[in-house]
């Protein structure tokens, strides 16, 4: 199913409304898979018919961090799955590459050190922005193993560089491909 959706996203002449529809669907699938990686506790509830049901609930302390601007497209999918989850924002200067990149804006929760973070960034082509974001999160005392990069498309080079520098970060993606759609945000938000 994911390959079918991805094919519709990667087709050059996909109409805007279809692009948004397929992007939202794929983002939701990736978010749901990322949520499956988060820790949970078992609970027992009483149903309206007074039966006991054993279920699960997420442990407290999960949040999302969207890398502006394209990461904001993934916020809706996260909210559809976790209505009350806190979502932070980070803007990284992407005009500068490599170690010279800097965080232009970060609105993070004060207790980030105690949270598990879903890092939202739909397309990772070079990996430099994600590397800077992970470094910034770790500067805020987020543990490396508590960072979950959620992305739709990532290049082989990017995933290698991210995993080499931060081997305990979990990467959840729908596809590893050299043909990532670099104009994703413009097409999604209708500014192309």
Q: Which of 138, 141, 136 is nearest to 113 (CA)?
A: 141
- Residue 181 — pLDDT band, cuts 50, 70, 90? confident
CB within 8 Å of 83: residues ≥ 6 apart: none
Q: What percent of the chain has pLDDT over 90?
A: 70
> pLDDT digit string (tens) for 39-91?
899 999 999 999 999 998 888 889 999 999 899 999 999 999 999 899 999 99
Q: Where are the domains of the chain?
A: 2-189
Please tell me whether the peptide bond between 65 and the residue prior to it is cis, using omega within 30 degrees of 0. Answer: no
> pLDDT digit string (tens) for 116-138?
999 999 999 999 999 999 999 99
φ and ψ of 43, to 5 deg: -135, 160
Helix ranges, 11-153 (H): 16-35, 75-81, 128-139
Options 3.40.50.300, 2.60.40.10, 3.30.360.10, 3.40.50.2020; CATH for 2-189 is 3.40.50.2020
Coil vs helix vs strand at 46:
strand
CB within 8 Å of 93: residues ≥ 6 apart: 101, 102, 103, 104
Region label for 52, one of left (φ > 0), alpha (ψ between -120 and 50) or beta (otherwise): beta
Q: What is the pLDDT of residue 98?
A: 61
């Amino acid at each position: 199913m994911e390959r079918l959706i991805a094919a519709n996203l990667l087709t050059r002449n996909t109409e805007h409304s279809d692009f948004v529809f397929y992007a939202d669907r794929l983002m939701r699938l990736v978010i749901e898979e990322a949520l499956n990686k988060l820790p949970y506790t078992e609970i027992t509830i009483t149903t309206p018919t007074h039966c006991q049901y054993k279920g699960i609930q997420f442990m407290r302390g999960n949040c999302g961090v969207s890398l502006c601007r394209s990461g904001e497209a993934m916020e809706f999918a996260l909210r559809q799955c976790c209505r009350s989850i806190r979502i932070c924002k980070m803007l990284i200067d992407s005009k500068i590459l490599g170690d010279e990149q800097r965080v232009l804006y970060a609105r993070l929760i004060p207790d980030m050190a105690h949270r598990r973070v879903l890092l939202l960034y739909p397309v990772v082509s070079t990996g430099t922005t994600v590397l800077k974001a992970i470094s910034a999160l770790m500067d805020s005392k987020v543990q490396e193993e508590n960072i979950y990069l959620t992305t739709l498309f990532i290049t082989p080079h990017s995933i290698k560089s991210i995993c080499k520098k931060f081997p305990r970060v979990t990467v959840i993606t729908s596809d590893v491909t050299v043909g990532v759609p670099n104009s994703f945000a413009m097409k999604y938000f209708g500014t192309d």
